[in-house]
Structure 1
Amino acid sequence: MSKKIEVLTDKSALLARALELILSRIETSIQQRGQFTIALSGGSTPKPLYEAIAQQKLPWDKIHVFWGDERYVPPNHPDSNELMARDAWLNKVDIPAANIHPMPTNDAEPASAAAKYEQHLLNFFNTSPGNFPALDVVLLGMGDDAHTASLFPHTEALKVRDHLITVGNKDGNPRLTFTYPFINTARCVMFVVGGANKRPALAQVFAPEADNFQYPSRLIQPQGELWWLLDAAAGSELKS
């Protein structure tokens, strides 16, 4: 694993750096493998990043978009990560509908939806069960409790190691989420984190020793690149 921590001056510099890294990996992945695969994060932080990607001239037919987690709500619900990404980016570019791979949230049982999305990923990557495919980029945020994707402190989702997708739990509400071993197979994992409220959690995530189940972002140790992009408000104490 190659781990890099960068502290940018403010949120706009943070998003500009994230855009630069993503565009570079799009180019490399398409050159090497003929396509680029990315898993998106939700929340408010990446929205301007998605809007910036939508302004680029890119080979959209070679770009495939997945989601690292999703609230268990319909795709047109205001809380949907899919809806946010479509409004900010995907509806504004000429990307084939077949290249957009949202998490299904219409099954009565979230567990069956998780199994369905896992099978979709295995089929897309032509991978047999038990093997974990590698996405080119997994974008992640981090909450002030150090959760990432829908991997929340001391939840059952953190114990799942033999699946790509599982059911996360936030205050009793189910979510679909990548498992941490699946995130860790990615070629590049990129945390984009802003805000002073994240400092206490970051201190624990970067501490030599701490409880991984209390601070789930510690579990993200990919086989490829790991980038922590932080604005100054979040990362000023990590500049050593």
Structure 2
Amino acid sequence: MTKFLEILDDKSELVKRALKISVNCIQEAIAKRGKCSIALAGGSTPKPLYEKLAAQNLDWNNIYIFWGDERYVPADHPDSNEKMAREAWLNQCPIPAQNIFPMPTGADPATDAATYEQTLQDFFGSQDNVGFDLMFLGMGDDGHTASLFPQTAALDVGDRLVAVGQKQEDSRITLTLPTINASHNIIFLVAGANKQDALQQVFHEDCDPKDYPSKFIQPKEGRLWWLLDAAAGEKLSPDGAIYAMKSR
């Protein structure tokens, strides 16, 4: 695994850097494998990145869109990750409709998680072959990522691609840790001073990942970028430096 930590001046610089890395990863995947599979994050931080990706001149016929997690709401609900991504990106570019694979939320969470797992197996050929070319992730101020929340059962799911995540009483659908860590490229997008304390824990070697699940994200053979704005990264790098780290 190669891991990079970059602290950018502000959110606009974070988005600019994420755009450059994303376009390079997409083009690289298509050149190597003839297609690029992308798993999207929800939340507010990736939205401006999605808007900029929509304006890029990319090989849309060979780009395939999935989601890393979804709130258990209808696709037209204001909280839907699918709705946000479609409005910011997918409805604004000529990507074929059949290349988009949203998480279902119409039956019950366990059934829909199993349905999405089958969708992934059908696309990649088998469970063992699942590996997204590009995965976008965010991090909550509690250290969660996707819908993998601290001290919840989904963190222990190692034999499935998709699980039911739990945020208090609310069920969600989420990719599991092995699925995320099988990705070729992962980009964390983290902005805001409210993320400082969780980031300190995630980057501390003695942190228990079950308390701060983002620490579990360690792609087996891929590249991992942590892109932070200065407000989020202040306690990691008080002088505002931008630097990179390599692991293993």
Identify the TM-score tier after normalising by the shorter chain. over 0.9
User: Residue by residue, what CA displacement relative to the aligned partner does 1:74-122 show, whole Å, maximum 9, x if unpaired?
Assistant: 1011100000000001011111111001000001x21010000000000
User: Residue by residue, what CA displacement relative to the aligned partner does 1:147-189 show, whole Å, maximum 9, x if unpaired?
Assistant: 0000000111111011110000112111000101110000011
Identity among equivalent pairs (%): 56
Shift of 1:212: 1.0
C-alpha separation in 1, matches of 2:141 and 2:203: 14
SS at match of 2:235: helix
Contact 1:132 1:164 in 2 (8 A): no
Shift of 1:191: 0.3
C-alpha separation in 2, matches of 1:195 and 1:41: 17
Shift of 1:132: 5.0
Contact 1:66 1:101 in 2 (8 A): yes
Shift of 1:210: 1.2
SS at match of 1:211: coil
C-alpha separation in 2, matches of 1:225 and 1:181: 15
C-alpha separation in 2, matches of 1:58 and 1:188: 18
Contact 1:132 1:182 in 2 (8 A): no
Q: How many residues align structurally? A: 237
C-alpha separation in 2, matches of 1:52 and 1:63: 16
In structure 2, the gaps of 5 or more residues are 242-248
In the alignment, which residue of structure 2 is the partner of 1:137?
134
C-alpha separation in 1, matches of 2:106 and 2:236: 42
User: Residue by residue, what CA displacement relative to the aligned partner does 1:29-88 show, whole Å, maximum 9, x if unpaired?
Assistant: 000000011100000111110000011111110100100000001101110000000000
Query: Which of the numbers 161, 164, 180 marks the counterpart of 1:164?
Result: 161
C-alpha separation in 2, matches of 1:93 and 1:72: 26
The answer to whether structure 1 residue 113 and structure 2 residue 80 are counterparts is no
Shift of 1:220: 0.5
The CA RMSD over aligned residues, in Å, is 0.9
User: Residue by residue, what CA displacement relative to the aligned partner does 1:125-145 show, whole Å, maximum 9, x if unpaired?
Assistant: 111x4x251100110000000
C-alpha separation in 2, matches of 1:217 and 1:2: 16
In the alignment, which residue of structure 2 is the partner of 1:226?
224
In the alignment, which residue of structure 1 is the partner of 2:13?
13
SS at match of 1:238: coil
Runs of 4+ in 1 over 4 A off after TM superposition: none
In the alignment, which residue of structure 2 is the partner of 1:126?
125
Q: Compare relative contact order (CA 8 Å, sep 6+) and give the higher one, 1 or 2.
A: 2
In the alignment, which residue of structure 1 is the partner of 2:189?
192
C-alpha separation in 2, matches of 1:208 and 1:174: 30
In the alignment, which residue of structure 1 is the partner of 2:244?
none
SS at match of 1:18: helix
